[in-house]
Structure 1
């Protein structure tokens, strides 16, 4: 029996990835020199597809990293002057806050309990903060940060850089990048690809911040600072030998999604999320882990298991029927499960999932 992964990440490969890998091997992508014309063409194609898919403004730069985790460190080194503000409501937003502290920055932590979102009327961002870190979709808890709230923060704090962690949001989230300064993601979740590639988008304001810090003596990192990454990206290259197959696949999968039409991809995501949340509401032994509807994720649905029933039993039951899901994360592992809702997960697969949930 083939098993389909509705895991929070890595997740099920996009259905065209296997054939793209086969084609990549035929074209010797795995051994192409990152200083060759063939690599430059591949790099250029991929960046053009991602830019179109995500409506990236022309004045935004795009570089590749080893992971989204790496971008935390690049931002801490290159874009935080003295103090950063972090919205923390889960394990991944917590880790970026820890990265900033590890690099010696002052930090403001605006924190919510696990499973809770933020209300823009309930917090005050410190005036001396120069950088704001927002996790748009907290993978560990299934809480999203509504886009209208992000835009409101920009209106109220136009002087501060805003960076968006969109790791489990892309390609679903349709964010207006003119209202933030940086966004980053990795490919093993919504893009349906093998892990090992990060994508970092940033604007001129971020670059000017890095220039200022460097001019004042800041070491921006011995490994791929913003300028090294950008200098190479402008030539459709990378500083060191990259994950060439990952870059190739990102271009091909982005092209596939564009062929499907992004408005359809996004509407299907909303439809599937609605189906699953309705099934949760109707089941006597299940509940929403995120109580406030406006901050419930559409891409990582977190379920509370009730009435003494076991998350492990629920996961085993689904896996026995060919569907693999994730356990709860960290302190919620014993009471919750997480189910992803990415473009590779068809409506038909979700129909099967709902039928199994109803029968449990």
Structure 2
């Protein structure tokens, strides 16, 4: 058994109550139940209801459960884009979504900012022909974030039929989205929801559903099992089209219930406190410097710092103290560290990490 605390950007530290819920799941043999049973339908309905409450999701939104956020990229393009998508790119994951659209035969265009830089909505022209605009609230690879107020500005920049999709993979439920200003938000559970990997959650409104149905009526292929109409027909009955990750869905419902008991405002206040602790340390550190220069564009959940000491050496120093941070992404693997500050991480744990880094590397 390890006592290590994982400040890695996903998979990351499990939410504190997960072990208890896993034990309950084992005792109730959740991993053996049929995904067509009433017991599973109750698990599905509970997870969806808790999410709707936590996120204050409008009634015109649907909740679909898939295997990952990466899969959602493909399903989004297949189901809602006939010809063209437009992507804001400022890191590896936003770039990959852009590439997926091209790989699926669509015309994919982009507005690209340098790695670790954010976006100013006023300076971005969105093509009138774009059917989907891919925004990134929190770029997990670079630590660059887009404030919700900037995201909301895009509604006035696009044509009436254009769909706005938001990547909140490593930030939800921290951002307080105005879901009336966007059409879809998606995330994975192994980051801010503190669960094992293997479950993606797709929040999409009736405009996305209508677009998929319109394309289907025109004879456009939406894929097979994972077309929006097919998934939605099962979701209405609290089911999925295939055998899902039942255990993770059960755990999601339980953890979101725990979050509701704690209170979303408390969780968001703690997120701001933890981010401030980390950024204030980075500001005076002899070894680290903030990778994202513009303060308004700095993530509060995935803090990225340039490092003089290679990232692997930082983790070697932390290992005896049962702590681990994330290395940089891709070409920045040894040049940066990424510190996850998710709801699973307490203020006290973040404070302890900051103090240990100050002691070890200055």
CA distance in 2, matches of 1:159, 1:147: 21
Determine the structure 1 residue equivalent to 2:65: 64
- The superposition leaves residues 298-320 of structure 1 with CA deviations (integer Å, 9 ceiling, x where unpaired) of 000001113xx332221211222
Partner of 2:33: 32
Pick from 216, 223, 234 the counterpart of residue 236 of structure 2.
Answer: 234
**Corresponding position of 1:295:** 297
Decide which of 251, 254, 260 is 2:253's aligned counterpart: 251
Contact 2:225–2:241, Cα closer than 8 Å, also in 1? no
Q: Which residue of 2 aligns with 1:320?
A: 320
TM-score by length of 1: 0.97
* 2:186–2:203 contact (8 Å) kept in structure 1: yes
Find the residue that maps to 1:174 and give its secondary structure.
Answer: coil
Following superposition, the deviation at residue 228 of structure 1 comes to 1.1
Name 1:13's counterpart in structure 2: 14
Q: Could you tell me how far apart the structure 2 residues matched to 1:207 and 1:222 are?
A: 16
Following the alignment from structure 1 to structure 2, what is the Cα–Cα distance between the partners of residues 244 and 338? 30
Please say if 1:94 is aligned against 2:95.
yes
Task: Give the count of matched residue pairs.
Answer: 358
Please tell me whether the aligned partners of residues 99 and 108 of structure 2 are also in contact (alpha carbons under 8 angstroms): no
Render the CA deviation track for 1:188-232: whole Å, top value 9, x for unaligned: 011000111111111110011111111111110023211111000
In structure 1, what is the equivalent of residue 149 of structure 2? 148
Q: CA deviation at 1:81?
A: 2.5
CA distance in 2, matches of 1:310, 1:27: 46
Name segments (4+ residues, structure 1) moved above 6 Å: none
1:77 aligns with 2:100: no
Unaligned runs of 5+ residues in structure 2 are: none
In the TM superposition, residue 123 of structure 1 has moved relative to its aligned partner by 1.8
Query: How far does residue 328 in structure 1 lie from its aligned partner after superposition?
Result: 0.3
Distance in 1 (CA, whole Å) between partners of 2:335 and 2:40 is: 47
Q: How many angstroms apart in 2 are the aligned matches of 1:312 and 1:70?
A: 30
Give the CA RMSD over aligned residues: 1.0
Distance in 2 between residues matched to 1:263 and 1:105, nearest whole Å = 40
Shift of 1:285: 1.9
Residues 1-360 of structure 1 mapped to structure 2, 5 A cutoff:
2-157=3-158, 158-306=160-308, 309-359=309-359, 360=361
3-state SS in 1 of match to 2:105: coil
Shift of 1:155: 2.2
Cα distance between partner residues in 2 of 1:120 and 1:17: 39
How many Å apart are 1:249 and its aligned residue?
A: 0.3
Q: Could you tell me how far 1:292 is from its partner in structure 2?
A: 0.6
Tell me the distance in 2 between the aligned counterparts of 1:198 and 1:29: 19
- Residues of 2 paired with 1:231 and 1:155: CA distance? 32
Distance in 1 of aligned mates of 2:93 and 2:179: 22
Q: 1:162-195: CA deviations, max 9, x gaps?
A: 0111110112121111110011111001100011
SS in structure 1 opposite 2:121?
coil
Distance 1:333 1:188 in 2: 20
**Aligned counterparts of 1:351 and 1:326: Cα–Cα separation in 2:** 17
Q: 1:251-300 CA distances to partner (integer Å, 9 max, x unpaired)?
A: 00000000000000000000000010000001122100001100000000
Equivalent-residue separation in structure 2 for 1:140 and 1:241 (angstroms): 31
Give the whole-Å Cα distance in 1 for the aligned partners of 2:122 and 2:51: 34
Q: Secondary structure at the match of 1:14?
A: coil
Q: Is the 8 A contact 2:125 2:157 kept in 1?
A: no
Task: Give the 3-state SS of the residue equivalent to 1:179 in structure 2.
Answer: coil
Instruction: Tell me the alpha carbon deviations over residues 99-135 of structure 1, each in whole angstroms, 9 at most, x when there is no partner.
Output: 1001111121100111111111222111111110012
Q: TM-score, normalised by structure 2?
A: 0.97
3-state secondary structure, aligned to 1:183: strand
